[in-house]
Amino acid sequence: MNTVRIGLVGCGLFGESHMRAYQAVPGVEVTAVYDPAEEKAKEIAQTFGISRISSSLEDLCQDPAVEAVDVVAPKEKHLEPVLTALRAGKEVFVEKPFATDLSHCDQMIEAADAAGRILMVGQILRFETKYVLLQQDIQAKRLGKIASMHARRNRLRSLLERYDRTHPAMDSSIHDVDLMLWYTGERVRRVRGFGRRATGRTTTRSGESWNSKAERWAWWKPSGCCLTRPASAWTTPCRSSAIAAWATSASIRAA
Ligand SMILES: NC(=O)c1ccc[n+]([C@@H]2O[C@H](COP(=O)([O-])OP(=O)(O)OC[C@H]3O[C@@H](n4cnc5c(N)ncnc54)[C@H](O)[C@@H]3O)[C@@H](O)[C@H]2O)c1
């Protein structure tokens, strides 16, 4: 079996989660890590026994021991590592959300096309069995025509402090929006969003101010015929998620 040699960019909470996943997959080796906060790179390298700590993004991307770059940097900082990696001829996996600026998405897609390299966004639910089974039912037309879809993706109150920096539409609901686009195979026509600031706190990070996202809801309309509602609350004591589709012949739910 060929071994895929990975360079990890971003050694925070989810970078560590990726490292654990790589350790569990045969044929994958993480050969280098980079984080602008050097102590984080050192910590992850020590925990997972990685010998190379790259001194810069460029250093990691030019490293011949790295075949594919895994970008697990904060959501608003995906552009530079993705472009640098693609221009260095590496395959790229980038965490969701792809970007927070549409022009960044366009630039990354163009760079991948120009380089002829894989650029994959971490919309991971398309690989989770229960969601795949639902997609197969929809594709085989076992449910009839979908009229509406609802989803909830609630997260632990204890994670609010860390992820308060990200709007829930981009953070948790983006997974359900991705599933809804996959299931309907159609593009979004109209969007309305509703939120409730249950805690009333304001958080400022990286020059952006957010009112606490303790609870928010959004309604999206992916096509002319299907109304969808992804919702997300961050005040719950335990995590929970479910997606349901109401169709002309049957209704189905994955939880
Ligand atoms: N798929 C999921 O369910 C899921 C869950 C959690 C996080 N994520 C995604 O993972 C990414 C990282 O989130 P996290 O929770 O690990 O955040 P985090 O804050 O814990 O870690 C981010 C790391 O990136 C580093 N960093 C900062 N600027 C950088 C740059 N310019 N280049 C490279 N690294 C940089 C930071 O020093 C930090 O170590 C985000 O895109 C987030 O949306 C996905």
Average pLDDT over every residue of 10-22: 97
13 CB within 6 A, ligand 1: yes
Give me the sign of the Cα torsion angle 113, 119, 124, 129: positive
Cβ 42 vs Cβ 8: under 8 Å: no
Residue 134 makes CB contacts below 8 A (sequence gap 6+) with: 183, 243, 245, 252, 254
36 CB within 6 A, ligand 1: yes
Residue 207 has pLDDT above 70, yes or no: no
Q: Is 169 in a helix, a strand, or coil?
A: helix
If asked whether residues 64 and 153 sit together in one domain, one would say no
Q: Among the three residues 73, 103, 122, which one is the final residue of a domain in this structure?
A: 122
Cα of 215 from ligand 1 centre, angstroms: 22
Which pTM does this prediction carry? 0.90
Q: Which of 14, 54, 56, 101 to mutate to test the pocket of ligand 1 (most atoms within 8 A of CB)?
A: 14
What are the tens digits of pLDDT across the range 53-66?
A: 999 999 999 999 99
What are the tens digits of pLDDT across the range 95-135?
A: 999 999 999 999 999 999 999 999 999 999 999 999 999 99
Predicted local confidence at residue 209, as pLDDT: 45
Task: Provide the domain count of the chain.
Answer: 2
Residue 45 has pLDDT above 90, yes or no: yes
If asked whether residues 132 and 107 sit together in one domain, one would say no
Average pLDDT in the chain:
88
Q: Among the three residues 87, 122, 157, which one is the final residue of a domain in this structure?
A: 122
Task: Provide the 8-state DSSP code for 188.
Answer: -
Q: CA separation (Å) from 249 to 16, 89, 244?
A: 44, 48, 14
124 CB within 6 A, ligand 1: yes
Average pLDDT over every residue of 223-252: 83
Range of lowest pLDDT (67-71, 87-91, 129-133, 217-221): 217-221
Instruction: Give the helix ranges, DSSP H, for the chain.
Output: 13-24, 38-48, 57-62, 79-87, 102-115, 129-139, 160-163, 168-171, 173-184
If asked whether residues 58 and 40 sit together in one domain, one would say yes
